[in-house]
Amino acid sequence: MKVVENALLDLCRGLGEDSRKLAILGEGNVSGTVSQTEFLVKASGACLGMMSASDLTLCNAEAILGLLDRKGISDGEVEATLLESRVRPGDRRPSVEAAFHAWLLTVENVSYVGHCHPTAVNQVLCSPRARDFAERRLFPDEVVCCGAASVFVPYTDPGIPLAREIRERTLHFIKQHSYVPRVILLQNHGIISLGATIEAVLSSILMATKAAEIFVGAASLGGPNFMAQKDVDRITSRADEHYRQQQLKLNAG
């Protein structure tokens, strides 16, 4: 567990670095798989840039996953279940978004998840062009780090409703594209990145943030001018790009 804990604290420092403008105050959360039944997730209200081991809560995944299929569940019942899911009673309350973390960590080759609200990304996600940004690509490195497309989730109430919507749309994406997404974009909310390593998670978020800045600039000049799908497909099939992904720890193994 110590390895996962240290990795998550490194990820928190990367996401919470002030100059990157990815998260402020108590925004954002992270998680990592400890075992088949347990995962670590950021405690509610903790600040990414100032995280310590005591700000990570060890949760029973099955207890939280059970919330996703319960009908008519109240906010009070969710709160009680989140508290009961703590493996160590002295741990702080887990993030309200622990449910989507618990589910995403069940996806193939996903060991870490990061979520934050980058200023640049939210400029786009709070605009009418949000779906375009999720489904199309602007430049090759965006394809390499963020994948050929991202999951787009229309605005949904945080907590269990959002976790259910993320599950549904991610499963649809995997069925449609035959690969696990690197990035999930939440309309009027923020970004989620998932991967086998913390490097993969952080790289996708940083590259998506750069892409959002380029998108906004291109839009101000009458664009953006998206890559053709054949060119996106070419990048995803190139052996040299696969090698670079391995060097950047973007892929499992």
pTM: 0.96
pLDDT at 1 over 60: yes
Mean pLDDT for the chain?
95
Task: Give the chain's domains with CATH numbers.
Answer: 2-247 (3.40.225.10)
What is the tens place of the pLDDT at every residue in 193-222? 999 999 999 999 999 999 999 999 999 999
- Percentage of the chain beyond pLDDT 90 is 91
In this structure, is the dihedral angle defined by the CA atoms of residues 67, 70, 75 and 76, taken in order, positive or negative? negative
Contact 186, 153 (CB under 8 A): yes
Residues 6+ apart with CB under 8 A from 204: 145, 146, 147, 182, 183, 193, 195, 250
What is the tens place of the pLDDT at every residue in 14-63? 999 999 999 999 999 999 999 999 999 999 999 999 999 999 999 999 99
What is the tens place of the pLDDT at every residue in 149-166? 999 999 999 999 999 999
